[in-house]
Amino acid sequence: MSRGGSGGRQRVRTARGRTAASTRWLERQLNDPYVRRAKAEGYRSRAAYKLIELDERFGLLKGARRVVDLGIAPGGWSQVVRKASPRAAVVGIDLLPVDPIDGVVIHQLDFMDVSAPDLLMADLGGAPDLVLSDMAANTVGHPQTDHLRTMGLVEAGADFAISVLRPGGAFVAKVLAGGADSDLVALLKRHFAQVKHAKPPASRKDSSEWYVIAQGFKGRGEDQI
């Protein structure tokens, strides 16, 4: 690896056994200002700034007392929540192992497991103000299949949010290919006062990811806590 001068762009030499694609990825990481900022500020990934920027625009974390983080790995979003709302109860879940985060209960489990919702709610201790979903299915290289698999997770996250949120709460989820499907948007609009799409600056321009932000949960009727 060669380094430029102070503030210059770093270039990576192609090493034996490293593909050109992996070399381009490594070079992009080294020259990504969000990656450098995350390291400097102690966040586990550049994705932390996606939530920071969404919060700046939509005020998601102000006054949050209970938060669920679906697809928590590697933990950047929960770090942001804890920094913004130090007293908030935070529970996360992911198939991947996640190093401990102070004040966050973490389950290594598939969110689609039938036991997952009850485990999350038992640890949270009450209806959440905010359900975050950065879940995405493992890609198989077929765009249509990858999109359907990820949207299945998004829809499961939305169903969970609708079943547990307190009135006025919010749901944020990563979606692909320009936004949420029309059926999902219709579902969210029935249950939330406001539904919008956003692509925060920290989301790479060449990425297909967007975020759907549903705010002002209308409640579930007489059985609402």
Q: Are 105 and 90 in contact (CB under 8 A)?
A: yes
- The verdict on 31 and 123 lying in the same domain is no
Per-residue confidence (pLDDT) for residue 170, from 0 to 100: 98
- The verdict on 67 and 151 lying in the same domain is yes
Q: What is the tally of structural domains in the chain?
A: 2
- The verdict on 34 and 142 lying in the same domain is no
- The verdict on 177 and 96 lying in the same domain is yes
- The verdict on 32 and 51 lying in the same domain is no
pLDDT tens, residue by residue, 191-215: 999 999 999 999 878 788 899 999 9
CA 171 to chain centre: 11
Per-residue pLDDT for 29 more than 70? no
| Domain-located, residue 224 | no
CA dist 53 and 43 (Å) reads: 14
pLDDT tens, residue by residue, 30-58: 557 878 888 888 899 989 999 999 999 99
- The verdict on 129 and 18 lying in the same domain is no
Burial state string for 58-72 with b = 16 or more CB within 10 A and e = fewer than 16: bebbeebbbbbbbbb
Per-residue confidence (pLDDT) for residue 18, from 0 to 100: 59
Q: Which domain holds residue 123?
A: 47-217
Q: Are 161 and 131 in contact (CB under 8 A)?
A: yes
| Domain-located, residue 121 | yes
Which residues participate in the annotated binding site for S-adenosyl-L-methionine?
75, 77, 94, 110, 134
Tokens of 202: 């920290």
| Domain-located, residue 222 | no
- The verdict on 205 and 191 lying in the same domain is yes
Residue positions annotated with a catalytic role: 174
- The verdict on 211 and 139 lying in the same domain is yes
The strands making up 66-70's β-sheet, listed across from edge to edge, are 104-108, 89-94, 66-70, 130-133, 170-176, 209-217, 192-198
- The verdict on 91 and 163 lying in the same domain is yes
- The verdict on 122 and 184 lying in the same domain is yes
Instruction: Compute the mean pLDDT over every residue in the chain, rounded to the nearest whole number.
Output: 85
Tokens of 83: 């920094």
| Global pTM value | 0.83
Check which CATH number belongs to the domain holding 133 and give it: 3.40.50.150
Amino acid at 117: P
Which residues participate in the annotated binding site?
75, 77, 94, 110, 134
- The verdict on 51 and 35 lying in the same domain is no
